[in-house]
Amino acid sequence: MASKELLDMLNEAISNELQVSIQYMWQHVVCRGVNSESVGGVFKQIAMAEMKHAEAIADRLDYLGGSPTTKPTPITVGDTIKSMLSLDKKAEEDAIALYKRIIAKADGEKDVSTRTLFEGILSAEEDHHNKFTTLMEAD
């Protein structure tokens, strides 16, 4: 079975995914300005993807004998589109770093399924990071 360290890392990932799914959805609701319609749609789309990540990670954690958390890490919405994008870019950078550590840990424990799951999620997070970075440049 998985080590306590890996299980704890998966719960950290769930907390982060819950945080950003709520954060991005609220940003979708409250963003204002000339770009709010297009950027708001990106926030909503990514929020739903992040919730699916949380579910997939929770399923894996449960399979490994862990107990999935229901507590998100702190949510910060921001008050302008630019501040929202900056917060979100940083959240994606944090997720990318964590998921690379999880992949390495899972690989070290010969847990191919967890490694494969996080390789897929990592790819999506890199795409989210790119979208937020590109939108910040368009400002």
Residue 137 banded pLDDT, cuts 50, 70, 90: confident
Which amino acid is present at 78? G
- Token pair in block for residue 7: 């299980």
Residue ranges of the domains in the chain?
4-137
Reference 24, options 91, 96, 70; nearest CA is 91
Give the tens place of pLDDT for each residue, 94-119.
Answer: 999 999 999 999 999 999 999 999 99
Number of neighbouring beta carbons within 10 Å of residue 119: 15
Quick one: DSSP state of residue 127? H
- Inter-axis angle of helices 36-63 and 112-137, nearest 10: 170
Homologous superfamily of 4-137: Ferritin, core subunit, four-helix bundle (1.20.1260.10)
Whether the Cβ atoms of residue 136 and residue 92 lie closer than 8 Å to each other: no
pLDDT of residue 1: 81
Residue 138 banded pLDDT, cuts 50, 70, 90: low
Whether pTM exceeds 0.85: yes
Number of neighbouring beta carbons within 10 Å of residue 39: 23
Give the tens place of pLDDT for each residue, 39-96.
Answer: 999 999 999 999 999 999 999 999 999 999 999 999 999 999 999 999 999 999 999 9
